[in-house]
């Protein structure tokens, strides 16, 4: 019985740790904020600065829509115009189709020259692309 309780507590701890916010790091390796699993975006002070909704809507700190991420990776501004796209391999393109960076599978963000721009692992690549390239919340 004691072993079962320990196992249940361990499973609960693992599940709770997965629900925590993921730290976002800037190019110098410093924390510049957090993105929670529900899409809530916080700055380095912990203040609410925006949110990624489940339907792809991107909101600012007052709750207003400032953009949207379509299912195909297209990123749109508040007027609905395409401002870029993240492709399935993580390549990020601007509205002209030029590569402006990449979000690697581990969350590493690189600029167009391949230099390290930051990291945000454990969250959807689309959110990372929008955060770093199109709607800098940090």
pLDDT (tens digit per residue) in 22-66? 999 999 999 999 999 999 999 999 999 999 999 999 999 999 999
Is residue 126 situated within a structural domain?
yes
Is residue 13 situated within a structural domain?
no
CA distance 103 to 92: 7
Q: Which domain holds residue 54?
A: 21-134
DSSP 54: T
Mean of all residue pLDDT scores within the chain: 88
CA distance 44 to 59: 18
Cα–Cα nearest to 92, from 128, 120, 45 = 128
Q: Does 4 score more than 60 pLDDT?
A: no
Is residue 105 situated within a structural domain?
yes
Q: Does 17 score more than 60 pLDDT?
A: no
Is residue 10 situated within a structural domain?
no
Is residue 77 situated within a structural domain?
yes
CA distance 88 to 18: 24
Q: What is the dihedral of CA 116, 51, 31, 118, to 10 degrees?
A: 0
CB contact at 8 A, 85 and 98: no
Is residue 15 situated within a structural domain?
no
Residue 1 confidence class, pLDDT cut points 50, 70, 90: low
Q: How many CA atoms lie within 13 A of 23 on its CB side?
A: 9
**Structural domains counted in the chain:** 1
Is residue 116 situated within a structural domain?
yes
Is residue 71 situated within a structural domain?
yes
């Amino acid at each position: 019985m004691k072993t079962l309780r320990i196992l249940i507590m361990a499973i609960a701890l693992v599940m709770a740790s997965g629900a925590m916010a993921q730290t976002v790091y800037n190019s110098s390796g410093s924390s510049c904020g957090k993105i929670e699993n529900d899409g809530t975006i916080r700055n380095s002070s912990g203040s609410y600065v925006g949110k990624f909704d489940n339907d792809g809507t991107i909101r600012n700190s007052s709750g207003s829509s400032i953009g949207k991420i379509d299912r195909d990776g297209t990123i749109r501004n508040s007027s609905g115009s395409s401002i870029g796209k993240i492709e399935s391999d993580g390549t990020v393109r601007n509205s002209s189709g030029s590569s402006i960076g990449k979000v690697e599978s581990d969350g590493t963000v690189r600029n167009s020259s391949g230099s390290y721009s930051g990291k945000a692992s454990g969250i959807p690549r689309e959110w990372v692309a929008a955060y770093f390239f199109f709607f800098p919340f940090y």
